[in-house]
Amino acid sequence: MDQERIHHLISGFLEGNLSAAEKAELDDFLKDPANREVFVAAASSLTEMEEEGAFDENLEPVLSRVLNVDRTPVTTGRIVRFPYWRVAAAVILAAGIGSYFYWSQKAPQRPRLAQHEPVTPPVILPGSNKATLILEDGSSVSLDSTGRQTIMQGNTVVQRNNGQLSYSGQGATAKLSYNILSTPRGGQYQVVLPDGTKVWLNAASRLKYPLAFAGNERLVELEGEAYFETVKNAHQPFKVKAGNFEVQVLGTSFDIMAYKDEKNTHTTLISGAVKVASGKVSKLLQPGQQAVMNANADIGVNTVNTEEVIAWKNGYFSFRDADIAAVMRQLERWYDVTVSYPSGIPKGTFSGEMGRGLTLTEALKILEQTNVNFRIEEGRHIVILP
């Protein structure tokens, strides 16, 4: 397909006037990885037309809605120029391919390595619904996304159904009895707690909770990351303890990220109100705000894009100015792999999105387009190359 035809299809798609046959033609073209360079070149030339005033100004609202970015061109230190990537990304995302990336380089661009001996890397599948439930008596049950199961614990009934646990019954109140839901690297799971609160547990995470909430509070303990949709009960506030801090809520939805291998702990409020406390320091959050606590228990508050924060819950990765180590930590947890940097961690940051349903190789190939070189070794190990 020549560039003139690609120009026609891209412009027509963004303007919304392609025929069904033309949409199918563009879709088939974009699905072939071999067409990437041709497509990028076409998108780039469209941007040059835009800068000369020949590009349809009516496309701007479409691009802004798709990527939710400002209009300011940024060219310094980019491997790809941001304006034309907005064109490319708009088409890729809208066409359902589900990923776009750009790389902000803080050091001179490194040359790409020559490929002398093509090696077929092992197929490493993405994570799935799997977890381990540790019961009050210390026994454990392996969970996945298949089948149904009923577990009795005193007066409490635990139902497993299609990747989700749910609790019903009163449980024992003479003393608190606990369950622990633990996801491995490469796993995720959902649970409906005894009070009806819904929790989505990310990979490599652990949630401890009672079989019945008694007393004047509902307290759970978290390691890792989880998204909560709590049930309102003004007389029994819901609390989450994560490391050295505590989150208190009445009725709200929020995300807590408290992995031990991350420098900071984050609490992000989606709706309602929460108070984040550590010792004598506390902050009250409003929707769209994120509390960031460091090792010194200092709490800072920022305004964030909540869709990016809970992207993992909705089935995709979302990065905004994240260095490669931060990106790879997420991939390590989701694909159950390890990563090393024998030549040091490359400088620069990533911004972009990609689906969590990709194989590891597919995900790394997307990163490779931003000048990241890698090798997958036996034992589920990724080596980041210079």
Convert the pLDDT of each residue in 68-125 to its tens digit.
333 333 322 233 333 444 444 444 444 444 444 555 544 334 444 344 444 566 789 9
**Six token digits for residue 218:** 């509902």
Average pLDDT over residues 299-314: 94
- The CATH architecture that domain 128-309 belongs to is Sandwich (2.60)
Confidence category of residue 42, pLDDT binned at 50, 70, 90: low
- Whether 354 shows a pLDDT value over 80: the answer reads yes
Residue with tokens 């380089």: 105
- Whether 163 shows a pLDDT value over 70: the answer reads yes
- Whether 341 shows a pLDDT value over 70: the answer reads yes
* Bridge partners for 239 per DSSP: 219, 248
- Whether 129 shows a pLDDT value over 70: the answer reads yes
**Torsional sign, CA 15, 18, 24, 26:** negative
Whether 128-309 shares its CATH topology with 316-385 is answered no
Q: Is the pTM of this model over 0.85?
A: no
Provide the residue type at 311 as one letter: A
3-state secondary structure of 160: strand
Is there a contact between 182 and 159 (Cβ–Cβ < 8 Å)?
no
Convert the pLDDT of each residue in 200-238 to its tens digit.
999 999 999 999 998 899 999 999 999 999 998 888 999
- Identify which of 186, 172, 191, 247 has the alpha carbon closest to the alpha carbon of residue 217: 247
164-168/187-192 β-pairing:
parallel
Domains of the chain: which residue ranges? 3-97, 128-309, 316-385
Of 3.40.50.300, 3.30.470.10, 3.55.50.30, 3.40.1190.20, which CATH number belongs to 316-385?
A: 3.55.50.30
Report pLDDT for 10. Answer: 72
What mean pLDDT, rounded, does the chain reach?
79
Percent of the chain residues past pLDDT 70, beyond the cut: 73
Average pLDDT over residues 253-272: 96
